[in-house]
Amino acid sequence: MKTPKYLAKVVQRYLDMTIDLLKKKRLNFKNVKLNEVPKKSGVYAIFDKNDIIYVGRTKNLQRRLIKEHRRGKVEQSQFRRALMNNYGFSDEEQLNRYIDKCSFSFVEMDKLIEMVRLEHFVTAILKPKLNVELKTDKNKSV
């Protein structure tokens, strides 16, 4: 069994990583350039003004954030699908206008297990609206 001291260290570590993610420079979907987002793995947070609405992880931040979430089709992006299902957008154009007003930040990470843990920690602590809605939708279909 893990000691309370060890658990406190682990929680503090993920809290520090969460704070780092939230303090990173936010890039606006509408104005972001490809070279501003690396083709590296990491965890990202998407914001609507100052509210965090979605947290995710990926092997390729550039592909996921720019090509799938910003420009992709609903079928390619869990984020776009969650927006369509929960915000009542009637078409992709309306969805694109909303996404253009959103921003995101990210942290690069190499290890999948660390990415999964950070994504889950941030989701559990901050409860981004779309992550919570996706989890609720999955539970309804079971």
Confidence of residue 134 (pLDDT cuts 50, 70, 90): low
Confidence of residue 31 (pLDDT cuts 50, 70, 90): very high
pLDDT (0 to 100) of residue 133: 66
Pair 84, 74: CB distance under 8 Å: yes
Give the chain's mean pLDDT. Answer: 90
- Which has more pLDDT, 1 or 136? 1
pLDDT at 33 over 90: yes
